[in-house]
A and B are shown apart, each in its own frame.
Chain A
Amino acid sequence: MKPSPRIMMFTWEFPPRIIGGISPHVYNLSKELAENGAEVYVITCDFPGAPAHEKVDDVEVFRVDSYKNPAPDFASWVYLMNMNMQKEAASIIRDLGGVDILHAHDWLVAAATIGLKHVFRKPLIATIHSTEVGRRGGIYSDYERMIHETEAWLTYEAWRLICCSNYMLIHVREFFNLPADKMVMIPNGVNTGEYDMYLKENLREFRNKFASSEEKIVLFVGRLVYEKGAQVLIRAAPKILEKVNARIIIVGNGYMKEQLLALAESMGVAHKVTFTGFLDEESLKKLQVCADVAVVPSLYEPFGIVALEAMAAKSPVVVSDTGGLSEIVEHDVTGVKIRPNDPESLAWGVTRILLDNGYADWIRENAYRKVKEAYNWSRIAQQTKEIYIKVLEEYSRTFWA
């Protein structure tokens, strides 16, 4: 076992390209791994203005031209992107004189990494962040089945599978019929340091841009898609506003945006709901610090990084009692758990925090401490590195080595 294993990460998003949770995950994991003595290379999609090759915090990042090929639909684009990603990675690996581990993040990079595994005969590790079954609530079309089978293929080809919550681990194991010893749970993390500076800052002026000083801020951050549940929050708005003068701020974009606007209109709360669209990282973090309560009303949530972020920003959280959220939050200690897809329950949770400052502060401090202890990236990178070392030991006894 070499002192510093060479890890090649594959991800379809990496900052500044941020679509969902994989981008910050891979960024933080790579950075901490590099600090823990691994050589880390990231292969990802290109992004306007981002260089094709750069070093970010000791991590070498390669951005592959992925929009050259037009495609009839998203999934076709993904497979074409895999083709481009793979051919560039093949050259890079050759130029580097090899890497020790290929690490894939989700089906979005399955094809590229599986081919490279066999060509270079190196172990492939995959982190399954979410599944098509979970995202869609079942498999109903050939399009979804293709993605589901691609996920199955990745789980078959991977040497080890990492899931970020026990909920996800059990789900992946059951849906793909996997042996238990192939799987490992390593949580997602959040960097509290990124929030600490804003916690010390006077943000009153910034806050005034979003809400009046009389209004409590109820914050939702996430893609505006069905499974993230912004619609549940809007349905709960009248009940919240009955008891508290609040401003509901919805950050993010997605196919449901028009529907959500119409819903807010029809519920008669449009004047109290602000849709900010996508926010830059600094504004988002500041807003998370300003929020009086952060709501994560997901119907499906493999992990729930946005809850951890709110906890790091010392904003009390109200989360659906589902998936990874159930594991992150301890009810009445580090947050409030509500029934998924239940506006009544959501309104109860939100007002419970907004009407009791002592309770809110208790939750705030407990949650912050918990995040710092259990979900820090340095610890997560250490756990991940241990998996790499274990896999490389197993690999060294095979005829591929």
Chain B
Amino acid sequence: MRIIIFSWEYPPRIVGRLAYYVSELATKLANSGLKMHVVTYHDSLIGDFEEASGVKVHRVTNPVKTHINLLTWTITLNQEIERITANIYYRENGQIDLIDVHEWQFIPAAVTIKRAFEIPFIYSIESIEDHRSGGANNPMNIAIKSIEQLGVLEADIIIVKSEWMKNEVKTIYGVSTGKIKVANLEERNGLKAILDVYRSLKGEGTQK
């Protein structure tokens, strides 16, 4: 399987815990024999490509430097995410099995790529705007929430880390629980659970 992970943070760019989580996930998946690409952002010149522990990391910067808010920043950056992903897609002759998008930032790119190339995507949710902003009730938070809503709607599968979050996503976004899987790398058999989701999406079924 060839997988691309989208994450807006990845070491050495560390905003929160997501960077560590995603790098551990990518490394473990690579060790399990998957061909792993990570597409991420970095704002300083640390190189646009790096291969470490079997993971190919592609980094882009924002083509528009000045921004008025996180939303505009995110959308222009998404075009670069699409460019790099398309480059991988063409180089690999279209052999990409799925995209695993962590958090909402690169949902727009995942949706476009899915529609253009018919590559399924997983939306991996760590947190949601309702919780982060205490109810998403100003235009900015509503706009971010609407991107999450788009992700929930367009994703083939949603991965959350707990039964509690599964219930929250189901209630807040009105999505059927059948589409939401609970899998957490930090828990027992977490890697296997994630691999099972990947395989189910690829149609390989669950491996014993």
Contacts and interface: CB of A to CB of B under 8 A. Distances in A.
Interface of A: 68-73, 75-76, 79-80, 82-83, 86-87, 90-91, 93-94, 111, 114-116, 118-121, 142-143, 145-146, 149-150, 153, 156
B19 to A, nearest CB: 25
Interface stretch (B36-44, B49-57, B59-67, B200-208): B59-67
Nearest to A73: B68
A149 B108 contact: no
A111 B71 contact: no
A115 B69 contact: no
A72 B69 contact: yes
B184 interface: no
Contacts of B143: 69-72, 76, 80
Tier of interface size on chain B: 20 to 34
Contact of A142 (B66, B83, B109, B113): B66
A119 B64 contact: no
Most central of B111, B112, B117, B147 by chain A CB within 10 Å: B112
Contacts of B12: none
A99 to B, nearest CB: 12
Contact of A120 (B64, B116, B138): B116
Given A94-B116, A118-B82, 20 more contacts: A69-B142, A69-B143, A72-B138, A72-B140, A76-B140, A80-B143, A82-B75, A83-B75, A94-B118, A115-B83, A115-B109, A119-B83, A120-B116, A121-B90, A142-B67, A145-B66, A146-B64, A146-B68, A153-B63, A153-B76
A86 B115 CA distance: 10
A87 B108 contact: yes
B82 A115 contact: yes
Query: Interface majority SS on B: helix, strand, loop or mixed?
Result: helix
A142 B79 CA distance: 21
Given A68-B146, A72-B139, A115-B78, A143 B112 contact: no
Contacts of A94: 115-116, 118
B72 interface: yes
Contact of B112 (A69, A70, A76, A119): A119
A94 B119 CA distance: 13
Given A119-B116, A146-B66, A146-B67, A71 B75 contact: no
A149 B64 contact: yes
B86 interface: yes
Contacts of B65: 149
B108 A143 contact: no
Contacts of A93: 116
Contact of A146 (B72, B112, B139): B72
Interface in B88-118: 90, 108-109, 111-113, 115-118
Contacts of A150: 64, 76
A220 to B, nearest CB: 33
A14 to B, nearest CB: 22
B68 A76 contact: yes
Contacts of B72: 75-76, 79, 146
